[in-house]
Each structure stands twice: as structure tokens, then as C-alpha cells.
Amino acid sequence: MSATPRLDRLTARGRAFLGTRHAILGGAMTWVSERHLVSAISNAGGFGVIACGAMTPALLEAEIEATAALTRLPFGVNLITLHPQLMELIAVCRNARVGHVVLAGGLPPAPAVSAIAGFAKLIAFAPNLAVARKLLRSGVDALVIEGSEAGGHIGPVSLTVLAQEILPALPEAVIFAAGGIGRGAAIAALVEMGASGVQLGTRFAASAESVAHERFKQAFVRAAARDAVASVQLDPKLPVIPVRALRNAGTEAFLAKQREVSAKLAAGAIELAAAQLEIEHFWAGALRRAVVEGDVEGGSLMAGQSVGMVTAIEPVATIIEGLVTEAEAALARAAAAA
């Protein structure tokens, strides 16, 4: 590995928190962030994160065990706060001695925070400064600030704005920046602003170790940044979290699905919570078709706008080495110009 003294100094807090060579987290991507990719990221000096998604406790237990067999280095588990068996999944993480848990999909419930505090470091997502402060007060150990440039479910604000809003206000917090990061120069800029490290998903989704279908990966290689578009909400009475994915026939299918569910909601044939769950089930199925089956036309190709920087299917170690080398070079240029 290349020597990166400037980057190491700026990311010392993040590296110590994760216990890794580099403060680079792998974004947890359902169907993609499993044992092979997670262990590859950790073995390359980053921090892999298992995407639990809709796994049962038994499946998560098996995935953690399988990942641990492929790496002796730290990795974490991402849990969705709305999972009906959240507390059981937390118990699985505790029994498996998982050192870091990431809670995503909404504000972490207090019982979950308390349970995780007893055995692991807790990471949560902060969409704005007020929530960031609330999370830190509640017992969360580190934050991810993820901009709307990211793939999958996204918030409304870009990383450029979130970084300016949150990083200077919380200089002592461990904060990882995410969304649209595809080059080392961006990492350098963010850690100079005060980020403890970064999180990347899209670059790793198309890596050699990713189990995603070859057609899924090739779609990333061919795509430009403008091809990764956010979904449109048709009915204000049916609020759905926007999803960023590559534009295809599946994009149109989602609009049709919204119309169908909205009509059922308006007719009183379905409750709002059930309507929103039906939308989420649509995305889960569409993502699986793309990742597992290679349906790049009808499936959901969830990708961030950094997809335009995916120009080849490379090993994870090559990706991470390139990122940190580029970041160190950018920091050296800035120091020379000062």
C-alpha cells in the first residue's frame, strides 16, 4: 500500500473509530453488500458493511459467520430501523460480537440504541444539523452525512451543502461523508473540511468481487452521471422516499406502480402504511431482478451520480489504492500551494 501521511493525519479519528488502515466505509447495498464484497473491502484496508436488508435473524447470523471466515479485519452490519425483527437482529449482532452496527432507514428507536450501546459502536445517518445533534445526544457514536447524489434511497440535500452545514458545527464528532464520491480528490476535500472519512457504494457495486450480475456491472460502466436519476413522487398523499437509479424501463414501471397504489389509496382499499410498504416491496423486487438476475431493463439499477466515474470492473484493492493515492496527491498539491 502507498504511504499516505497527510490523509492518515486528517482521517486519524475515523481510522481509530473503525480500526482500519483507511477511513473508507463500503455503503451497505441490498443484494450486493454480502460476504464477498464486505470481506474484500476490509481486506483491502477499508471497512466493509453487511447489508442486512430484509434478512431473517438466521440468515444474518449465517452471513456474519461467513464474512468472518473470509476476513480477520473489522467489518460492520447495517440494519434497517423498520425491520419487524430489529431487536432480534441486534441480538444476533451481539452474539456474533459485531463491533460496529449501522442503523439506517429513519431515526433509531431508543431501545435499539440502548441495546447496541452495550456491545458495539453505533453509526447512524444525519440528514441535517438538528438531527445530527439529536443523534449524538441520544448515544450514537458516529454519523454518516449522505447527499442526494448517492444511489438508492436518498434525501433532498446535496453532500456539498450537508458538509458545509454539519462539519464545521460538529468538529469533535466522528462523521463520514457519502454521496457522489468517486475520486480521491473529493475525499481530500471532504477530510480537509472536517470529515473523519468517507463512505462509497457505487464504485464498489461494480467491483470484481461484487456478486452483482455481469450485466448489472456493465450498465454501470456504460452509464454517465446524468443517467442516475431520482424517482418522481406522483401523489403528495402517498409520500415515498426518492430512489436514485439508472434510467430504464423500470423507472417507468415505478410510475405505473405509484398510480396503481395511489388509486387503491384514494378508493380506501388500502391504508397509507400498507401503501408505502407496497412501494418498498416493489423496489426490493426490482433491485433483486437487476442485481441477481441481470434484468437491466425492468429491474432497478440503483446507482449514485458517481457512476460516471466507473469506467472498468476493477478489484476492490485497486479501487481503494487508487482513491487513497489520488487523495494523498491532492493534499500534497494543496500543501505545496499554501
Neighbours of 41 (CB within 10 A): 31
Q: How far is CA 26 from CA 35, 96, 208, in A?
A: 12, 20, 14
Question: Considering its fold, how many domains does the chain have in total?
Answer: 2
d(CA 24, CA 21): 9
Shared domain for 58 and 200, answered yes or no, is yes
Strand 197-200 and strand 228-230: the pairing is unpaired
Q: Could you tell me the CATH number of the domain that includes residue 44?
A: 3.20.20.70
pLDDT in tens, 59-111: 999 999 999 999 999 999 999 998 999 999 999 999 999 999 999 988 999 99
Q: Record the pTM.
A: 0.96
Dist CA 338 CA 333 (whole Å): 9
* 5/324 Cα distance (integer angstroms): 10
Grid cell locating 249: 424501463
Same structural domain, 231 and 143 = no
Whether residue 320 is found in the same domain as residue 281: no
Q: Are residues 205 and 236 in the same domain?
A: no
Residue 300 lies in a domain: no
Cβ neighbours for 256, distance < 8 A, ≥ 6 positions apart:
none
Report pLDDT digits (tens) over 199-252: 999 999 999 999 999 999 999 999 999 999 999 888 888 888 889 999 999 988
Instruction: Verify that 323 and 191 share a domain, yes or no.
Output: yes
Q: Residue 295 is placed in which grid cell?
A: 434484468
Residues 141 and 263 placed together within one structural domain of the fold: no
pLDDT-based confidence at residue 26 (cuts at 50, 70, 90) = very high
Q: What is the predicted pLDDT for the residue at 238? A: 86
Would you say the C-alpha torsion 27, 29, 137, 240 has a positive or negative sign? positive
- Domain of 265? 224-291
